[in-house]
Amino acid sequence: MQPTFQVKGRQTIRSDCLKKYEDMKKELQTELQNLDTHVCLTSDIWTSSQTIGYMVVTAHYLKKKIIWFKELECPHSGYAISDELVLCMTDWGIRDKLFTLTLDNASNNTSACELLINNHKNELLFEGEHLHVRCSVHILNILVQDVMKLIHSAIEKIRELLKHIDSSVSRLQAFNSIATGMGLKPKAGIYLDIPTRWNSTFKMLREALKYKAALNSYAHRSHEVSPSEEEWAKAEAVCEFLKAFEELTLLVSAHRTPTAHRFLPLVLCIRHALKDQAWQSTDLLKKMALGMHSKFEKYWDPSEDNPYNESNPQRKKKEIAFNIALVIATFLDPRRKLSYLKFFYKKVWNDANKVDILVKHALEWIRKYFSAYEERCESCVVMTPVANEVSSKSESPCLGKRKLEEEFAEYMTQEQFDQSHKSEIDTYLEENIEKGSDDWDILAWWKCKSEKYPVLSTMARDFLAIPLSTVSSESAFSCGGRILGDHRNSLSPQMLEALICAKDWLFISKDLDVEVPMLHAVWCNLVLEEESAGWGRGVGRSRSTEPRTAARKATAQRATTQQATALGKPNPGAVHARDGGIDGGADPCMVQDTIVDGVVELAKDGAEDGRNHPTN
């Protein structure tokens, strides 16, 4: 152990965590309030194992920050969601900076957006005309769920067979024995799906198809029901078809790279796949395409997104209207520009007049947004005063001429400035389209062109920050589930928010390599102190802590080594790096999870100790 290290108590760690959270929150509040751009938000709701609803809000502004994780009382109506969003934006001081709001495609979310627009339109750009962005991943899930219903019987049989194998170690060993005999790799565990998530069902089917022969053999030996050959064939056909949709889901789920400019290509790709007759070789595939296309028409078919189209009066305008902000984001992709909009609508309509109308409509909105952003940019421009003022006593014709020349030069400078701004869109369109692959860095391009296109580059910062999915917000719930599980239910809402938000902020902290090891060392040594003192052995906890204590001693020693290294102190007897400890180059995410888990364990211990060691 590091002799200079001073162990801290449980309450000290709790207060330190809350203080760190509050300090980081103040810094982030200042950063958000001083932004010269807008902020896009994503939000989602999660119900814990204690049936308590929580709402998360994530801010996107070319960065991603979780800024809200609060308990949301039932009912989760549009009014409740709207009020909570306003409360969040007020607390962070960004009510006048909201640009778009990405939510799942649920009726309460739609109502929440409508309430925000009606009650706060004066604070929104263009009165919130393009505020609501529907989660693309959620709509993809709706499309594919209908396909899954066509092979429901096969999925149920595969799922139940896998559950049977995974229910005991002996059954898994028996299955692995069969798989090994067939030249397949043994499985450490069986992947089971979440029925409401099509991509998890897809992964389960894909894994099952790899072990089809082994599963059939195991089912035969164990007298379990297995899918028929016809059902296996259906599952294989569905997996082959859904492979492309999995790739699209991963593409639009990215939250550390821009996704908004990929929306139109995504829609066109799906539309082409559903209309292409080449792959629809069986009745099953035809049913799949037909079922998905009916849902696709409801949400994404551009041919229905036309004010002159009344072919389907049952469909609501608010469900099918393309958010023009996503169209503008595609325009701001230097590899596509206006040419892709023309190409897109031509592929959909194949009617020159309709294509011209839709492209003209998009261009009108581009110029509207450009004018709004141009006013913002011009308000920040400070004109340089004339260097040499002419004395009031100088009234000779010569000096008067010089003054006129200076005024003319200033006038020409201002005129050139205005002209360059007026023609910025035209200049952008006149330039050749850039070439680049899917991983091409669009943000780096706009950063390099910011001087040439000051207004468009400012627009790009906002429009390219629009998230196509709520995945970034949903990911907070995976952390929330680990922190507030069945055996961890004593945390206060304040502490829960502090842990989840601070973990998200620490991940990209500049001082992560110092702060995280130090916090980890504090936690490890505190656990040793508590276990040596016999703390935390309340109801439901094992009294045999020797194995855990030995393991934690080793972890604490490694953590102390890292702490001393970060502080530049000597470390006699330190464990060598790359021995599996934190000082061996561990993943920062894993380190933070360990810290959060440790702090939560301490909070849990305090709740169990009751009167002697309260957590709140």
Q: Which is more confidently placed, 556 or 70? A: 70
Contacts of range 183-188, beta carbons closer than 8 Å, 24 or more positions apart: 184/210, 184/211, 184/214, 187/211
HEC letters along 359-410 = HHHHHHHHHHHHHHHHHHHHHCCCCCCCCCCCCCCCCCHHHHHHHHHHHHHH
What is the tens place of the pLDDT at every residue in 520-548? 444 444 334 433 444 333 333 333 344 44
Mean pLDDT, residues 197-207 taken together: 90
Residue 315 has pLDDT above 80, yes or no: no
From CA 490, how far away is CA 484, in angstroms rounded? 8
Q: Mean pLDDT for the chain?
A: 76
Stated as kind and residue range, the H or E segment containing 64 is: strand 64-71
Crossing angle for the helix pair 212-222 and 152-166, to the nearest 10 degrees = 70
β partners of residue 257: none
State pTM to two decimals: 0.73
State how far the Cα of 486 lies from the Cα of 492, in Å rounded to an integer: 15
* Per-residue model confidence (pLDDT) at position 175: 95
Alpha-carbon dihedral angle through residues 409, 413, 415, 420, given to the nearest 10 degrees: 150
SS3 65: strand
- Count CB atoms within 10 A of the CB of residue 551: 10
**So what's the pLDDT on residue 401?**
62
Exposure letters 302-317 (e unless 16+ CB within 10 A, then b): bebebeeeeeeeeeee
Better pLDDT: 500 or 316: 500
Angle between helices 512-532 and 588-609 (to 10 degrees): 30
User: What is the spatial distance between Cα 205 and Cα 246, in angstroms, rounded to a whole number?
Assistant: 13
Crossing angle of the two packed helices 454-463 and 324-331, in degrees rounded to 10:
130
Q: Is the pLDDT reported for residue 283 higher than 50?
A: yes
Q: Is the pLDDT at 131 greater than 80, yes or no?
A: yes
DSSP state string for 529-547: HHHHTT-S--TT--S--HH
Q: 């164990």: which residue's tokens?
A: 222
Give the pLDDT confidence score for residue 485 in this predicted structure.
Answer: 52
Integer Cα distance of 301 and 348 in angstroms: 8
Reply yes or no on whether the pLDDT at 455 is more than 80.
yes
Q: What is the pLDDT of residue 488?
A: 55
| Residue 196 main-chain phi, psi, to 5 deg | -80, -5
Cβ–Cβ under 8 Å, residues 473 and 58: yes
166-183 pLDDT tens trace = 999 999 999 999 999 999
Pairwise CA distance, residues 571 & 3, whole Å: 9
Domain ranges of the chain: 141-253, 262-360
Give the pLDDT of residue 312: 46
Residue 554 backbone phi and psi in degrees, to 5: -65, -45
Dihedral sign from CA coordinates of 448, 453, 454, 459: negative
Average pLDDT over residues 102-108: 90
Which of 447, 438, 464, 462 has the alpha carbon at shortest distance from 261? 464
Cα–Cα distance between 21 and 506 in angstroms, integer?
10
Q: Which residues contact 261 (CB under 8 A, 6 or more apart)?
A: 329, 330, 332, 333, 336, 442, 463, 464
pLDDT at residue 158 is higher than 60: yes
Where residue 579 falls among pLDDT bands split at 50, 70, 90?
A: very low
Beta partners for residue 57, in sequence order:
43, 68
What pLDDT does residue 291 have? 81
Q: What is the DSSP letter of 129?
A: T
Contact between residue 68 and residue 45 where contact means Cβ atoms under 8 Å apart: no
End-to-end CA distance of the chain: 31
Query: What does the pLDDT look like over 326-366, one tens digit per residue?
Result: 999 999 999 999 999 999 999 888 788 999 999 999 999 99
pLDDT per position as a tens digit, 468-527? 988 876 665 455 444 555 555 667 788 888 988 998 898 754 433 334 444 444 444 433
Residues 529 and 521 sit within 8 Å (Cβ to Cβ): no
CA distance 299 to 318: 9
- For residue 389, which amino acid is it? E
Other CB atoms within 10 Å distance of the CB of residue 173: 11
Query: How far, in Å, CA of 98 to CA of 462, rounded?
Result: 10
